[in-house]
Amino acid sequence: MSPDAPRNGPWNPRDEQDFDRTIAYRVPRAAVDEARTVRLPSWSEQEEIGSATVVAPPPPERGRRGRGWIIALVAAVLVGVVGGGGVWAASKLSGGGTQPQDVLPANALAYVRLDLDPSAGQKLALFGIARKFSATRDSFAGDDPREALVAALRKDAPGLSGIDYARDVEPWLGDRVGLAVLPADGGGEPVGALAVQVKDEAAARTGIAKLGVGGEKGGLAFRDGYAIIAAGQKLADEYAAAPPLSGEPRFAGDLRALGEPGVLSFWMDLEKIAGARWGEAASAPVLRQVKGMRFAGALRFSGDYAELAGITRGGAVPGVRPEPVKIGELPASTVAAVSISGLGDLLREQWPSIEQAATGTAISSGGGVIRETLDQARTRYGLSLPDDLVTLLGRTLTLALDERDLDGALPRVGAVITTDTAKAREVVDRLTAHLNGMERPADIATAEGDGRFLIAGTQEYADALKGGGTLGESETFTLAVPDAADATYAVYADLDRLEKLYLDGLPVQARADVEKLRAIGLSGTHGGDGSTFTLRVVFN
């Protein structure tokens, strides 16, 4: 396919069908003779890199509309992760080799990895997305993001003013960095260890010393192509000889479950963190609640979206799993929706804690406000708590916004509840009777069927929600909300169709940037075996 040929639809790296795609990007003059065309691999494939000719980039797309107000977040992620380079990635497509977890100790409590040389597909997708936006376009036209990083460090550290990147850093600095949080010897607050990939050990030793590391300012050791920097030389030597984190079974299993590690990845063992000595924080209720849990995540890219994916493992009751929310069965005209499973059961489980909080007398605890709210719900609205609220939250609860009348005085908003419909109708009728006794009648319409109770502002929309729909067949939806059929919670916003609410009035450049955003989605599962989540920003 020619880079200038029209696209028939967004490219999804998880598609099972194999197809080739030519990637066009700007290259330094010296690299033109060795330029390549890359077949983007799916995240389950091995990379295949062939030889061809690079062409000039196609003009930016202008025909599509849509996008959103989260451009600042996307730009910040892109700039923060890659620093300042762009074309450097085009000539480095390996993505293999030793990772920081292969040289940092196995007893790490937490770990963060930054890879400026990820897989070819990840790399090229990242730079293709970055060049869409004014905030990142120029930053991705340089030759070396490491130089931009060193320059940024020099601005905040006067002691590094004498460092010359080309002379003191470039000859030895690699592309990968890992940070591990480790337990301190003899207890106390945990300490950190940094693993920096190096190309030349002798040059690295000299260069790192110029950066002020070594002697009384920390220890330095080397292992498998990495410099390990620690608080002292004894610790650095111990870390370099310790069994690696990659060999720790739970860490390795969590990373396998996570999949493609992308450009940035992280992992933490909350059980170990809860057991570490963090001073007063060691007794914090939140740490006790998460004991036994581990958390891992990755930031990765495709040609059409940026994705933050994560998993949790442990710390839950085995066998507990809420039912799927079926957000894809909403009408095709839905422009935004949020759906979650198990809220009713969660409220019932947490109700004793809520009532206990309501008895608190301290102003800072908010006990008075909670108590007043509960009393008002019982006396003014006649609610039986928590049973009536559990009924209205149901087994699954979905809130939806329709495109029709979106910018009108009364947008079409509704709720779909999987619950005991007879009980739900009785509760809603009781609330409606109370609201109708106020200054104006309540705008509440209902419908029911197939174990679902539907509430909307108009009867027409309540009936439309009851009839279901084909939102799940939309290409935009499937890109933004992966695995929607199995998700136990999901959020979706079609920014192309929502932009009428916020696009007008933006400056010309900001409007052009915002129009690059197509949709945003969040989906995942939660239950006794842990949880998953995928947050995606989809681009035009």
CA distance between the termini of the chain: 19
Q: Where are the domains of the chain?
A: 74-313, 327-342+394-539
User: What does the pLDDT look like over 250-260, one tens digit per residue?
Assistant: 999 999 999 98
User: What does the pLDDT look like over 291-339, one tens digit per residue?
Assistant: 778 999 999 998 899 999 999 987 655 555 689 999 999 999 999 999 9
Q: What pLDDT does 477 receive?
A: 98
pLDDT band at 8 (very low <50, low <70, confident <90, very high): very low
Q: What pLDDT does 124 receive?
A: 79
Interval 357-382 mean pLDDT: 71
User: What does the pLDDT look like over 83-117, one tens digit per residue?
Assistant: 433 333 333 334 568 999 999 999 999 999 998 77
Q: What is the CA radius of gyration of the chain?
A: 27
Query: How many Å apart are CA 211 and CA 207, to the nearest integer?
Result: 7
Structure tokens at 414: 């509704």
Structure tokens at 352: 């004793």
- pTM of the entire predicted model: 0.74
Strands 413-418 and 530-539: unpaired
Are 276 and 132 contacting, i.e. CB atoms less than 8 angstroms apart? no
User: What does the pLDDT look like over 503-529, one tens digit per residue?
Assistant: 888 899 999 999 999 999 999 998 767
User: What does the pLDDT look like over 462-477, one tens digit per residue?
Assistant: 999 999 999 999 999 9
Higher pLDDT, 215 or 228: 228
Higher pLDDT, 458 or 315: 458
Checking if the pLDDT of 23 tops 60, the result is no
Structure tokens at 478: 């499937």
**Mean of all residue pLDDT scores within the chain:** 78
Q: Which helix (H) or strand (E) holds 353?
A: helix 343-358
Q: Which helix (H) or strand (E) holds 12?
A: none
Q: What pLDDT does 358 receive?
A: 73
Checking if the pLDDT of 24 tops 50, the result is no
To the nearest 10°, report the CA torsion of 285, 291, 293, 295: 50
Query: How many Å apart are CA 216 and CA 212, to the nearest integer?
Result: 9
Interval 279-291 mean pLDDT: 57
pLDDT band at 360 (very low <50, low <70, confident <90, very high): low
Q: What pLDDT does 481 receive?
A: 97
User: What does the pLDDT look like over 31-82, one tens digit per residue?
Assistant: 334 333 333 333 333 333 333 333 344 444 433 433 333 344 444 444 444 4
Higher pLDDT, 387 or 119: 387
Q: What pLDDT does 27 receive?
A: 36
Q: Which helix (H) or strand (E) holds 308?
A: strand 305-313
Q: What pLDDT does 427 receive?
A: 92
CA 485, chain centre distance (Å): 20
Q: What pLDDT does 44 receive?
A: 33
Query: How many Å apart are CA 518 and CA 227, to the nearest integer?
Result: 42
In the block, residue with structure tokens 């079609």 = 494
Higher pLDDT, 493 or 280: 493
Query: How many Å apart are CA 535 and CA 520, to the nearest integer?
Result: 8
User: What does the pLDDT look like over 395-442, one tens digit per residue?
Assistant: 999 999 999 999 888 899 999 999 999 999 999 988 888 777 665 666
Q: What pLDDT does 79 receive?
A: 45
Q: What pLDDT does 135 receive?
A: 74
Query: How many Å apart are CA 3 and CA 6, to the nearest integer?
Result: 8
Are 475 and 10 contacting, i.e. CB atoms less than 8 angstroms apart? yes
Phi/psi-derived region of residue 97, left when phi > 0, alpha when psi is between -120 and 50, beta in every other case:
left
Are 160 and 174 contacting, i.e. CB atoms less than 8 angstroms apart? no
Q: What pLDDT does 262 receive?
A: 87
Between CA 480 and CA 488, with CA 483 as vertex, the angle to 5 degrees is 100
What is the DSSP code (8-state) at residue 51? -
Are 132 and 60 contacting, i.e. CB atoms less than 8 angstroms apart? yes
With helix as H, strand as E and coil as C, how does 416-485 read?
A: EEECCHHHHHHHHHHHHHHHHCCCCCCCCEEEEECCEEEEECCHHHHHHHHHCCCHHHCHHHHHHCCCHH
Q: Residue type at 51?
A: S
Q: What percent of the chain has pLDDT over 70?
A: 72
What b/e readout covers 454-490, taking b as 16+ CB neighbours within 10 angstroms? bbbbbeebbebbbeebebbebebbbbbbbebeebbbb
Lowest-pLDDT choice from 181-185, 302-306, 360-364: 360-364
